Structure 1
Amino acid sequence: MITLLQLKYFRQLAATEHITRTARELYISQTALSSMIIGLEKELGTPLFERSNRAIHLNEAGRLYLKYVDEVFLALENGRMALNDITESKERKISIAMGSSLVWVPMIHTFHQKFPQYNISQFNMSTTALTASLNDFSVDFVIAGVGDIPMAELSYEPIKTDGIYLCVPKGHRLADRECVYMDELCDEDFINLQVGSPWRRYCDYLFEQAGYEVHSVLECDYTMRAALIESGFGVSLTSASAREVDLLKPNRYIRIADPYARREMAIFWNPRKYISKAMTDFKQYCISYYVAG
């Protein structure tokens, strides 16, 4: 008879494909781990791993079986959350991932004021990690641009449409303009975020639409851009959400007038994960916050 402990050990070994490391993580001996996996394979009537010298790798049968094992543990976790929702120990945790938390601070702050009983965990991630975190159920929600996340098997609701702005230092040749077009910026020195960030991916799309290759003088994180722009090092693209919180102060924001310079923002979740009351409250608040605004 196959036990949950065997499935747990199989799942962990499938993730690491390393006997010594897995045994250490599980606080058991390598012999006990190997015995448990061999027993599972005997029950199933087929090997799940390819073994050669000291290496071990999932084979085709193992990869197929892992999908069903993951479903078992997902069902157990969903069951736990569902029971917690109808008992006094209601699920009070919400986890959110995004490219940058800075522009979402007002919304999260006011949500916490309205629902102080909920505990929020927030993570900044690359585009690839955002998608992975939904697919492996490690977070409840992702807030990102509609084009940032592959839609297959995921659900989403639009929350706002962001205009795009050019941020320049005071005294820049464009500083007194109300709006500019992307084709006017082909000779500018740009300060970009690092490759892999959702905002960098969107900026690359804008330059592609404008039909030229951006002259990037520096790649950095969010926190450096304001000071570098102010010093005259370069200019940067930013969003209406960043402008609303004055993320790049004390620099000037100039609206990009091209019709394609509009970014649809949405909240994403994996519908296979149980949606707790806490998650429902957050999702509805996030949507209504920007509708009301």
Structure 2
Amino acid sequence: MELRQLQYFVKVARLQHVTKAAEELHVAQSAVSRQIHRLEEELGVRLFMQRGRNVQLTPVGQLFLKRAENILNDLDQSVIELHEFLDPEVGEIRLGFPHSLGINMVPQAVAAFRKLHPRVRFRFRQGMYPSLIRDVIEAEVDLAFISPFPEKNDQVTGEIILTEELFAILPENHRLAMEDSIPLSELKDEIFVLFSEGYSLRPIVWEACKAAGFTPKIAFEGEETGTIRGLVAAGMGVSLLPEMAMYHTSSMMPAVVNISSPHVTRTIGLIRRSEEKMPLVVQMFHSFLLDFFSKQNK
């Protein structure tokens, strides 16, 4: 079976006329009829019935048309993707990131990139730590921001682009709210507002508290930094959040206090699939991000 046969078949099926199909294909009518006949012989079925000057698909022809159209559409899309792979200025980048980085960091980086490359398209996917790693491995995204950076995973590779300090956040009327810095152990008797299970900041805060000599007592859980901030500001407890989570302001903002000990940080990494060549547009964006965050760290 030849690609030309499928193209001729689909054109005749859509126009229901061999002569008109030949005119649009810029070939002789006999050539179209010959290719359709060969296709029918190879398949062992009749694809068309004559209806006066027109032709009409047989039931099996209608079934085959759907498959043939899918094959040709897939081929066309493959050609488009190939051109996009080779031309970084017209490609698409599939980017994953956690919700906490979607407030400022990701929009700022993407906006800066699009000023230089306005024709590049983006497709975004937000998720939690395990789902982002899975999305990269299963090729659902090309790149993903992730926190913390995975220390060992044979299927993904990448770079740490930022190391961010965590701060204690307290209700404004808290006894320690006016302090410049406190040891984390000062909060051992407090109730905590933490991220729900599955969010990467939860184990970071948990391990920091354990290093300070206590296990945090959890009263409330949330799934967004805005929720954590709001609950703390409302007096529901205390928590730890990264500096990035403080960029957004609202009428309900907690006090922010440095932690003198232990030093609590989180890493933010940029990951991709191991041992796989990235499309040129993704390579270009990847290089841009490394340079973009390198300058921010200086």
1:173 to 1:114, Cα distance in 2 relative to 1, 3 A: farther
Task: Please point out which of 103, 106, 109 is paired with 1:107.
Answer: 109
The within-5 A match list for 1:152-167 is 152-167=154-169
Structure 2 residue 212 is the aligned partner of structure 1 residue 221: no
Q: Secondary structure, in 3 states, of the residue corresponding to 1:280?
A: helix
TM-score by length of 1: 0.65
Q: Deviation string for 1:17-74 (max 9, x for gaps)?
A: xxxxxxxxxxxxxxxxxxxxxxxxxxxxxxxxxxxxxxxxxxxxxxxxxxxxxxxxxx
The answer on whether the counterparts of 1:99 and 1:198 sit within 8 Å (CA) in structure 2 is no
Structure 2 residue 279 is the aligned partner of structure 1 residue 270: no
Distance 2:287 2:88 in 1: 23
Q: Following TM superposition, where does structure 1 have runs of at least 4 consecutive aligned residues deviating by more than 6 angstroms?
A: 77-80
Q: How far off its partner does 1:185 sit?
A: 1.2
In the other structure, the counterpart of 1:7 is none
Specify the code of the residue in structure 2 equivalent to 1:214: P
Structure with the greater alpha carbon radius of gyration:
2
In the other structure, the counterpart of 2:93 is 93
Q: How far off its partner does 1:196 sit?
A: 0.2
Unaligned runs of 5+ in 2: 1-76
User: Does 249-258 or 105-114 show the bigger shift?
Assistant: 105-114
1:162 to 1:218, Cα distance in 2 relative to 1, 3 A: same
TM-score by length of 2: 0.64
Q: How far off its partner does 1:83 sit?
A: 4.6
The answer on whether the counterparts of 2:164 and 2:265 sit within 8 Å (CA) in structure 1 is yes
Q: Secondary structure, in 3 states, of the residue corresponding to 1:197?
A: coil
Q: Deviation string for 1:224-243 (max 9, x for gaps)?
A: 22322221111221002223
1:121 to 1:279, Cα distance in 2 relative to 1, 3 A: same
Specify the code of the residue in structure 2 equivalent to 1:96: G
Distance 2:197 2:205 in 1: 10
Unaligned runs of 5+ in 1: 1-76
Q: Deviation string for 1:249-279 (max 9, x for gaps)?
A: 6222112222541222211111344312221
The answer on whether the counterparts of 2:205 and 2:240 sit within 8 Å (CA) in structure 1 is yes
Distance 1:248 1:148 in 2: 36
The answer on whether the counterparts of 2:92 and 2:123 sit within 8 Å (CA) in structure 1 is no
Q: Deviation string for 1:124-151 (max 9, x for gaps)?
A: 2122212211111111112123444643
Matched positions, count: 217
In the other structure, the counterpart of 1:288 is 291
Specify the code of the residue in structure 2 equivalent to 1:177: E
The within-5 A match list for 1:79-228 is 81=81, 83-86=83-86, 90-100=90-100, 101-104=102-105, 105-148=107-150, 150-222=152-224, 223-228=226-231
Distance 2:284 2:87 in 1: 17
Percent identity between the two aligned chains: 16
The within-5 A match list for 1:16-35 is none
The answer on whether the counterparts of 1:94 and 1:140 sit within 8 Å (CA) in structure 2 is yes
Task: Please point out which of 236, 240, 247 is paired with 1:233.
Answer: 236
1:147 to 1:291, Cα distance in 2 relative to 1, 3 A: closer
Distance 1:184 1:95 in 2: 40
Distance 2:89 2:292 in 1: 28
Distance 1:248 1:267 in 2: 33
Structure 2 residue 270 is the aligned partner of structure 1 residue 252: no
The answer on whether the counterparts of 1:165 and 1:237 sit within 8 Å (CA) in structure 2 is yes
Q: Secondary structure, in 3 states, of the residue corresponding to 1:257?
A: strand
Distance 1:88 1:161 in 2: 30
1:175 to 1:79, Cα distance in 2 relative to 1, 3 A: farther
Q: Secondary structure, in 3 states, of the residue corresponding to 1:255?
A: strand
For the aligned residues, what is the CA RMSD?
2.8
